[in-house]
């Protein structure tokens, strides 16, 4: 059985994808403006979300639809644990927590897993295809913005078990197109993918407040420093 699920997902989430890319936090990140505390909170939220999603994918790996997107080589939980250990140290697990938006995201993953497991396709597609598509670019931005050395704090963007990311994405799309879904299920999966984008945007919006404060503080410090230098130069001239 062949469906057009991959095309429907791509076309049906274009607007949500564009909206997510235009979130303040994301736009700042893409421009190389990264506030470390906000970024750490994002990594923590991702840890809880991916841990939940991967646990549910494992639980439903024999489901006729979920089995089509069960690819352990995509899993991010271990890489996020490595990044959290880098940012927080060996006791990271006791130092992190979900934001309210992160909790809503995790709760939704658990809910669909318990009621409509096929909707896990929506969450897998929304996160993993995006991770594969822009991972190396985002890794480079994070390294430059936070002065990270190679291999430090960016394991999330690495897929060591996937040699050719473009070929793997093609394989992923072919696999979901082989899922036994009817038109109604396709529509539900696309709708859930848009909801997944909305949940991601909620998390990004939560972090914008911290980012704005950090940028404001940076500007204040810069202006204060300049004023002090100006006063010193004036006093010297006198």
**What's the distance, CA 112 to chain centroid?**
19
Q: What is the pLDDT of residue 172?
A: 97
Q: pLDDT tens digits for 91-121?
A: 999 999 999 999 999 999 999 999 999 999 9
pLDDT at 14 over 70: yes
User: How much of the chain, in percent, has pLDDT values that exceed 90?
Assistant: 67
Task: Identify whether the C-beta of residue 132 lies closer than 8 Å to the C-beta of residue 162.
Answer: yes
129 against 236, higher pLDDT? 129
Q: Record the pTM.
A: 0.87
CATH superfamily to which 5-207 belongs? Heme oxygenase-like (1.20.910.10)
Mean pLDDT of 41-47: 95
pLDDT at 237 over 80: no
Q: pLDDT tens digits for 177-226?
A: 999 999 999 999 999 999 999 999 999 998 876 555 555 444 444 455 55
Euclidean distance between the first and the last CA atom of the chain, given in angstroms as a whole number: 85
Mean pLDDT of 74-89: 97
pLDDT at 228 over 70: no
The b/e string for 65-79 (b: 16+ C-beta within 10 A; e otherwise) is bbebbbbeebbbbeb
pLDDT at 229 over 80: no
């Amino acid at each position: 059985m062949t469906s057009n699920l991959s095309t429907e997902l791509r076309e049906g989430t274009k607007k949500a994808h564009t909206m997510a890319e235009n979130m303040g936090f994301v736009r700042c990140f893409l421009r190389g403006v990264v506030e470390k505390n906000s970024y750490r909170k994002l990594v923590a939220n991702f840890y809880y979300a991916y841990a939940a999603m991967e646990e549910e994918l494992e639980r439903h790996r024999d489901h006729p639809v979920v089995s089509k997107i069960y690819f352990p080589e995509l899993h991010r939980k271990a890489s996020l644990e490595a990044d959290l250990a880098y940012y927080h140290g060996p006791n990271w697990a006791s130092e992190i927590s979900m934001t309210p938006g992160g909790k809503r995201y995790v709760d939704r993953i658990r809910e669909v897993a318990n009621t409509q497991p096929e909707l896990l396709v929506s969450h897998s597609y929304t996160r993993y295809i995006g991770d594969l598509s822009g991972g190396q670019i985002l890794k480079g931005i994070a390294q430059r913005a936070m002065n990270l050395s190679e291999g430090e704090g960016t394991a999330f963007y690495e897929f060591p078990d996937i040699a050719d990311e473009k070929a793997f994405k093609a394989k992923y799309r072919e696999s979901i197109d082989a899922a036994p879904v009817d038109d109604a299920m396709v529509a539900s999966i696309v709708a859930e993918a848009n909801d997944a984008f909305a949940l991601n945007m909620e998390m990004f919006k939560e972090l914008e407040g911290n980012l704005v404060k950090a940028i404001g503080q940076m500007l204040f410090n810069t202006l204060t420093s300049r004023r002090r230098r100006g006063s010193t130069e004036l006093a010297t001239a006198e």
